[in-house]
Amino acid sequence: MRILFLFLLLLTIQVDSLAQKNKNKIDTHVEQIISTIVTQEDAQAHLTFLAADEMRGRNIGTPEIDIAANYIASQFRQWGIQAAPNTNNTYFQQVSFEKAVPASVISFSLDKQTFKLNDDIIQIGGTNLDFNGDVVFVGYGTRSDFEKTDVRGKLVVALVGTSEQLGNLFSAYNESTNKNQLSKEFGGVGLIEIYTFPGMPWQNIVSLLSTTPRIRLQKETEGIPHFWMRNSDNTILTLLKENKKISGAIKTSGANLIYFKGRNVAGIVNGTDPVLKNEFLLVSAHYDHVGVRKKGNLPDSIYNGARDNAIGIVGLLETARFFARNPQKRSIILLALTAEEVGLLGSLWYTEHPLIPLSKIVFNFNCDGAGYNDTTKATVIGLERTTAEESILKACQVFGLQAIKDPVPEQNLFERSDNFNFAKKGIPAIDFAPGFKAFDAELMKYYHQPADEVASLNFSYLEKYFRAYVYTNVILANIPTPPVWKVGDKFEPLSKKLYGK
């Protein structure tokens, strides 16, 4: 009995010692983050470069965004971070874009009733079209809608968005690409979508879409000419929606497609655990912004994008530097994404052309936001949707911040940042944003405005924000079981399919 007692005592001491050792290791991580990795001075240096006037808003297709990409890659190389596979040791994943210059002239009629450019119809994609023949309505333009409707050789008309989107313009705009591909697959010659959302007036849509060429990912095959049309009580449109036989004619000129390249920047730090190193934590942020735009009589036309999203890139860079010096159990992919501002295109390209199999990525912690109006918080879009919630709450608390879930779900922010494309593949993917409690005047003063400059930032707050982000990634890279979607989440079935569970 005495021998058994001594054995149990020694075992207890050993377990306590191991627990204390692990606790001290975590405490050491916090100390390292505070003392050597994440400091106001270092964060300010990165931000001052990325959001300088000389970077001219880091718009895609410009020399300045290439400079930003080179800057990120140079930091990776300096810290000894390995280039991701299939990048030829450059850190760069090439992304192919097409820019659709809309038609400057559109002549359109349905049963001899005419509709005018901008007043009634605009082109959002494709080349010129000269058509005279049958026009067919396909509802919301799902695959099942096309399967039960003969569209071959006809002009296709659909409703914008889906029956589930309930006025989400951003998602509807992205969904248009799928409808275009379906229209072409089933033999349609052109696609017109009727804009039915009440939230934004038609003239705002015209200003948004017709003055700026639409940018999409370049496909192996081009899409068909694509238009949006104003909804109205016009008798012809009513008959069309009722599937009555309608004839029409449309002729356009001035449309053009321009092809160009962009780059995602990707590095890897291999894990230390013999088993967990085969799992990857994906840390992402987008580095593009909206460039230079003349706005009224304002003297400043450069949209510097300090908050959106140079802050996110600094979160990624600080995480990269920590992991380069302190590899953790899991491996980590560091992914700076292009073209978020034009439809999450950099992340969409990556999910369609992954540098490592998507099934090896166990979690995506994206860093992106519109700004902040509450410096006591970090806002985590999707916080409550995965089992990473506890780790995030803990990491924020360590640095004096409260992690909160999305306070404006009606804005559908989860689907408006790059985490969404990874979530659609089944990967648990959420977004870490600076603290905000509403889309109020304080937030909108800087969101996509020339005023979003480095001089306006609160670096005392950002230091805590960056530290909380880095520490969360440390925790997630070490916990024995990776985070998963919570039971009942709409992405849970996709996750089970991806991971074979």
Domain with residue 187: its CATH number is 3.50.30.30
Distance CA 482, CA 428 (A): 10
Q: Assess whether 264 and 179 both reside in one domain.
A: no
pLDDT > 70: percent of the chain: 92
pLDDT in tens, 133-172: 999 999 999 999 999 999 999 999 999 988 776 666 767 7
Say if residue 376 is in the same domain as residue 467. yes
Please state, as a whole number, how many other Cβ atoms lie within 10 Å of the Cβ of residue 178.
13
Domain assignment of residue 29, yes or no: no
Q: Which domain holds residue 300?
A: 34-98+260-499
Return d(Cα 459, Cα 321) in angstroms, integer: 19
Work out the pLDDT band at 239, boundaries 50, 70, 90.
Answer: confident
Q: Please state, rounded to an integer, the average pLDDT across all residues of the chain.
A: 90
* 475 in the same domain as 349: yes
Question: Within this chain, do residues 468 and 481 fall inside the same structural domain, yes or no?
Answer: yes
Q: Considering 254, 273, 294, which residue would you say is the last residue of a domain?
A: 254
Q: Domain check: are 94 and 123 in the same one?
A: no
Alpha-carbon gap, residue 458 to 476, rounded angstroms: 27
Band the pLDDT of 296: cuts 50, 70, 90.
low
On whether both 471 and 361 belong to a single domain, the answer is yes
pTM of the model: 0.84
Chain position carrying tokens 């950099």? 346
Provide the token pair at 96.
């192919």
Residue 21: predicted pLDDT:
44
Residue at which a domain ends, from 220, 254, 288: 254
* 230 and 376 belong to one structural domain: no
pLDDT (average), residues 202-230: 81
> Are 204 and 274 members of one domain?
no
How far, in whole angstroms, is CA 374 from its chain's centroid?
Answer: 23
User: Are 213 and 247 contained in the same domain?
Assistant: yes
CATH number of the domain enclosing 489: 3.40.630.10
Q: Is residue 267 domain-shared with residue 233, that is, in the same domain?
A: no
Chain Cα centroid distance, residue 454: 23
Instruction: For residue 445, give both structure tokens.
Output: 């003063």
173 inside domain: yes
Above 90 in pLDDT, residue 267? yes
Tell me, yes or no, whether 432 lies in a domain: yes
Residue 355 and residue 475 in one domain: yes
Where is mean pLDDT largest: 21-35, 244-258, 323-337?
323-337
What is the count of structural domains for the chain? 2
Residue 24 included in any domain = no
Q: Round to whole Å and give the CA distance between 70 and 59.
A: 15
Domain shared by 475 and 413, yes or no = yes
φ/ψ of 293, rounded to 5, equals -140, 130
Mean pLDDT of 64-69: 98
367: in domain: yes
* Residue 290 belongs to a domain: yes
Burial (CB < 10 A; 0-12, 13-18, 19+), residue 424, is middle
Question: Does a structural domain hold residue 23?
Answer: no
